[in-house]
Structure formats: structure tokens, C-alpha cells
Structure 1
Amino acid sequence: MSSMRTILTSTAMIAVLGVGYGMWSVISPGEERRREMIKNLPESNPMRMEETRQRNAMVMQVLKEAAETNDNLARGYGGPAK
């Protein structure tokens, strides 16, 4: 009886994995659709990509300046903590 339960459990697990893989292959986009999606991403536009780089550089600069100061910026607009 124990071997029969093991066989049924193993078969059920393999069936669940097969159904999961089948659903994944049906849901995932094809190669043509994937290329179309990549082509339409905002980052594919060079001007938009440069704007993103500049914004990231400014954010990093602000973080660097905040890390170098001793002021507690969370309590107000700077200055010594009271």
C-alpha cells in the first residue's frame, strides 16, 4: 500500500509540473511579440535614456551630499538638530 501511495504521489507531482509548464508556455509571449515589446520600451529611445541617466546622476549627487553632512535632514530643512 505504501508503494502504491508513493507511485500515485509521484505521478501527481509530475502531472502538476507538466500542467504548470504547459500553462507557462501558453501564457509567455512568442519571440516576435517579445521583440515588439522590447522595441516599444521607453529605454529604447536614446533621448529618453539620456534623460534617465541625467536624473539618476542628480539623485546620486543629492544622496552623496546628504551622506557627507552631519545635519539630520529627516527632522527639518537642515541645520543643527534641536
Structure 2
Amino acid sequence: MIGVVGLVGMGYGTWAVISPGEERKREILKVLKHYTFAAVTNDNVAHRFGGQK
């Protein structure tokens, strides 16, 4: 039983260290919006090289 509690505690600790903070989340969302916009425009580089027909 103690091993299970320890394992869950270690998992939570690892998740808490790895998960990004609020400022980083906002930055990631801004970048994702730009990626989404670039993917739907005709100026996308992949479209020039036959990525879509």
C-alpha cells in the first residue's frame, strides 16, 4: 500500500514539474494560432511543393 501511494506521489510530482505554467500556456496558444493561420493560407510553403493538390 505504501508503494502505491509513493508511486502516485512520484507521478504527481513529475507531472507538476513538467507541466507548463500559465505564462507559457498563453505563449503556446499564441504560437498555435499562428500555425493554424499559416496552415489554411495559400502562402503555406508546403502548398508550393505539391503538399496538396
Q: Taking structure 1 as the reference length, what is the TM-score of the superposition? A: 0.43
Higher RCO (Cα < 8 Å, 6 or more apart): 2
- The structure number with the bigger radius of gyration is 1
Q: Percent identity?
A: 40
Deviation at 1:49, TM superposition (A): 5.0
4+ residue stretches of structure 1 with deviation over 4 A? none
Deviation at 1:51, TM superposition (A): 2.8
Q: In structure 1, list runs of 5 or more residues that go unmatched.
A: 1-9, 60-82
How many positions carry a matched residue from both structures? 43
C-alpha RMSD of the superposition: 2.1
State how far apart, in whole Å, the 1-side matches of 2:26 and 2:11 are: 25
- Give yes or no for the alignment of 1:33 onto 2:24: yes
1:31-76: per-residue Cα shift (whole Å, max 9, x none)?
1101101101201x3xx25338xx8xxx7xxxxxxxxxxxxxxxxx
Q: In structure 2, list runs of 5 or more residues that go unmatched.
A: none
Once the two structures are superposed, the pairs formed by residues 3-42 of structure 1 within 5 Å of their partners are 10-41=1-32, 42=35
